[in-house]
Structure 1
Amino acid sequence: MPRFAAVGAGRMGRGIAIAFAYAGHRISLIDLRPRSDEAWQKLRAEVQAEISASLSGLSQLGVIDAAQVPAIAARVELIKADEAPAALAAAELLFEGVPETLDAKREAFEHINRHCSDDAILTSTTSSILVTELAAMVRRPERFLNMHWLNPAYVIPVVELSCHAGTDAGVLARTKALMESIGKLPVVCGPTPGYIVPRLQALVMNEAARMIEEGAATAEEIDKATRYGLGLRFAALGVVEFIDFGGCDILHHASREMSGSIDRARYTAPAIVDRMVEEGRLGLKSGSGFYDYEGRDVPAYRRDVLSRTLGMLRHAGLWQPPASETQS
């Protein structure tokens, strides 16, 4: 049986299965719900069609050769409920991806607990339930953490790993190594609502909707500004790196102005920003901020940031060479 298993044959499970199959691994996609033969064949056809369509989409974009699609798709082994115990027992790394209710999670982990090996690493792909709440459902909680994938799961490299206080450090290290081996970029956070990406993007999306509601700008203008202004810069610089690069004092002053003119609750800077300004820890220009720049080759770092930004501009088709002659 495959070393990897995804419990729940819905959209998330299928995306995870494609990610592992693309990386050359067989993976069990386990459906725990007892079904009639007719219902099983219908689910099987739906899963196979979606996986083939996703891979064919990559082929049409030149990512893979069309001839590779059947072989990659064949690495996903759809497992029915009565075959689940063997697949669960064989799994080295297991992803729970059933619907987002505690009852559904509890029922799934009852099955998993009965059949998984003592050495298996168990994860939940929940986007809304804290790891601390789910850990109580797991037989060996030291081998459990949440893993949030960003859709489409087989394309976006970042996976967010949310640990509880009892998560074994060796288990975390092993999980990171396994995910890196299939081309993923794991990032770690504590047992916090919203992980990292959803917590940040919810603020941006709500503010965009609010600007449309207020008549500040159209959807088209906001999307142009975010794709080629906000998004382009944050693709070249991380959000915290961006604060340091421009200066924590810039964020401090901008927050003060917008908290007064737009909304105090939404735009007041957190205490850490005020404290850093008071301490003179402004970022790159002061030698320390959220990062420490002592001993760093600052001119080389600035060139690297410029290179990253130019790379994104060229990717977007927006970089223009200098004019060959003076314009009147």
Structure 2
Amino acid sequence: MSAPRPTIACLGAGRMGRGIAVAFAYAGHAVTMIDVKARPAEQFSKLRDEALDEVRKTLASLARFGLLKEHETETVIARVSVVPSRDSAAALADAGIVFEGVPEMVDLKREVLAAASKCVGPDVVIASTTSTILVDDLSGAVEHPRRFLNVHWLNPAYLIPLVEMSPGAATDPAVIAQMKALLEGIGKVPVVCAATPGFIVPRIQALAMNEAARMVEEGVATPEDIDKAVRYGFGFRYAVLGLLEFIDWGGGDILYYASRYLEGALGSDRYRAPEVISRNMQEGRIGLRTGAGFLDYSGLDVDAYREQRLSVLVDMLRHFGLARPPVLDRD
């Protein structure tokens, strides 16, 4: 008999809370969204109806996409409830995991987290979903901060597989493992990163988005062609090969010399390669060619590895409708 699924409490009934509610309810969890703001009954009723209507519409979209049957949406939405702030203590008493999803204001988050942490047992995991605030700027407000960490979802939370986990200085490693297992249990792909501004994805995408905007500004290409290049080149490739894996695939030395050229040609140190690139070169960690780079390829059947990655790229071609049969000469 499988273990019971913990009830999920979301502090806040906004966009993030609703996305998390869909993700967990779809995976069989009961979810309670808690309105953290005291408001008149009619205003709360309007918020509750808006939240549940958005959840319903999201599930209807997933049904149209074939991820569930239309009649199953009622079963899933029945797992979601929204309660007013006056009922927060009772709702939290039943929670197995708590996610905070209020607006990005440190004082507000600390206030909400402090209050919630007093209403749950000392071993109930509490997670912020902040996209900008460092976890230890919030952890001091939480009773028993060993059970607190940041869990950064990418919107739309119910679709994007990746979730970035950022533990604080006091976070118990067992809590990280527990959250990782919970997320994997609902089909997510969690990664762990240090408490640093931008985490992983926002930090990389900020550079990429600014560079795309800069190319428009400089007249390098039209917005349409830049986006086409990203979809069918950049995004296409990195959906299969991770960035560091791709460095190893071609060789860190190629990136080193390309970076030197771009830094000089464009007159900007934003293209300068970090020290780890030259250090890897000095140590012979070039990538696939030497059996090690950022990743370790010792004992790997390199030909089989390349074949597998290329086969996934071919699948991507088929997905985009770009795989074509060969043109054969006719007699």
TM-score by length of 1: 0.97
Deviation at 1:279, TM superposition (A): 2.2
Structure 2 alignment gaps of length 5 or more: none
Specify the alignment match of 2:270 in structure 1.
266
Specify the alignment match of 2:172 in structure 1.
168
Between 67-76 and 22-31, report the one with greater CA deviation. Answer: 67-76
User: How many residue pairs align between the two structures?
Assistant: 327
Deviation at 1:63, TM superposition (A): 2.1
Contact 1:7 1:98 survives alignment (8 Å): yes
Deviation at 1:318, TM superposition (A): 1.0
Q: How does 1:90-129 map to 2 (within 5 A)?
A: 90-129=94-133
**Correspondent of 1:87 among 84, 91, 95:** 91
Q: How does 1:196-211 map to 2 (within 5 A)?
A: 196-211=200-215
Deviation at 1:326, TM superposition (A): 6.8
| d(CA) in 1 for partners of 2:211, 2:104 | 26
Deviation at 1:2, TM superposition (A): 6.3
| d(CA) in 2 for partners of 1:92, 1:128 | 25
Structure 1 alignment gaps of length 5 or more: none
Q: How does 1:284-303 map to 2 (within 5 A)?
A: 284-303=288-307
Contact 2:106 2:137 survives alignment (8 Å): no
| d(CA) in 1 for partners of 2:74, 2:266 | 54
| d(CA) in 2 for partners of 1:321, 1:284 | 31
Query: Equivalent residue of 2:151, what SS?
Result: strand
Query: Equivalent residue of 2:33, what SS?
Result: strand
Contact 1:32 1:108 survives alignment (8 Å): yes
Q: How does 1:1-40 map to 2 (within 5 A)?
A: 3-40=7-44
Residue by residue over 1:59-103, the C-alpha shift from the partner in whole angstroms, topping out at 9 and shown as x without a partner, is: 222222211122211211111111110111221211000110011
Query: Equivalent residue of 1:162, what SS?
Result: strand
Whether 1:132 and 2:146 are equivalent positions in the alignment is no
Specify the alignment match of 1:215 in structure 2.
219
RMSD: 1.4
Whether 1:316 and 2:320 are equivalent positions in the alignment is yes
Contact 1:287 1:293 survives alignment (8 Å): yes
Identity, % of aligned positions: 52
Contact 1:144 1:167 survives alignment (8 Å): yes
Deviation at 1:181, TM superposition (A): 0.7
| d(CA) in 2 for partners of 1:173, 1:96 | 19
TM-score by length of 2: 0.96
Whether 1:78 and 2:78 are equivalent positions in the alignment is no
User: Aligned letter for 1:63?
Assistant: L
| d(CA) in 1 for partners of 2:61, 2:212 | 30
Residue by residue over 1:139-166, the C-alpha shift from the partner in whole angstroms, topping out at 9 and shown as x without a partner, is: 1111110000001000011100001222
User: Aligned letter for 1:198?
Assistant: P
Residue by residue over 1:305-326, the C-alpha shift from the partner in whole angstroms, topping out at 9 and shown as x without a partner, is: 1112111111111111211227
Contact 2:9 2:99 survives alignment (8 Å): yes
